[in-house]
Structure 1
Amino acid sequence: MKELLFYTVDKNYIKYLSKFEKHVSYNKDEIGHSRPYLGIVLRIENYEYFVPLYSYKCHYEKYKNNPSFFFVYGRKNNPLAIIKFSAMIPVPNNINVTSILEYNNQDKKYRDLISAEYRYINSNKEEICKRANKMYISVTKHKNNFLKTISCNFKLLEKKSVEYKE
């Protein structure tokens, strides 16, 4: 399996999808700035899916066994972030999905955090891919009621992604 890279997605596309699905994580600008909407891109069924990365918060501990989350840890087994499979979105070829390879314009603390997350994600990429596919199947084919209530409607978003005009 090839290396997983970090990406950002055009915020107009995110805003568009959020009109149709409440579980799309739309990063509204707050007080003149917004954090980057960072994630990985995985192939699921016939689509490329952007799977968002969220900064770790203490309240995520209660979700340890939740299949919609994947915890990302640092070297000392400290939680750094989560990958949220329930909020993944399809990204068609015409959408601006930008690879984030350079962090030099960020402060050192943020660069170190992104580097640690990158290492952990790539050392667990097979498991991440497996869990993302399992989430997709559970929501779209097995119709898992719990997962459907906390997840994006992947089939609806696939349809809307095809209809999107920049």
Structure 2
Amino acid sequence: MISSDYVLELCNVFHTGQVEPSSCMQRVVGSIKTGVILKDVSLTIHSGEVLAVLGSKGSGKKALLDVISRRVQGPTRGQILLNNQSMTLSLFQQRCGYVTHKCDLIPGLTVEQTLFYTPTKISTYLKRSKVKQVMADLALSQVANRCTEYLTQSEYRRLMIGIQLKLLIDARNI
């Protein structure tokens, strides 16, 4: 569906942020503990490769993804490049997708409505066509009219992937 040759490079990435959960009082008083979360991370990933990020709880797995996707709070140093271009939030949103563990969906919408709801400037006809394509590709057609609250875990995960695919497809058609 979406194919291109991409190279993602991280060069000497450091990130500092919150190192332990903070209480409401700590946030009010300003005593949140911070520290180095990522230290000198370098890697190169080519399109088509499968990469697993492994580590114990609190080792920085989510922080790494948040830094790459530019969804992070706190200072970050080093270079993050996509095809030799500096990774910006805009570039990430145009070329990449990030499926989080849990996402808040609008209650009462069906799978098809959730995919269709993505705000874009493409025609209604083209949007409907792309929604049908994504649902077929992810085996969601049979649950198209089911409210998202009643999806199985597997269906929910596929819908989350579908939302990101739809955003990427729409971004390329604008």
| TM-score w.r.t. length of structure 1 | 0.24
The structure whose Rg is larger is: 2
Q: Which has the higher contact order (CA 8 A, sep 6+)?
A: 1
Provide the TM-score with structure 2 as the length reference. 0.24
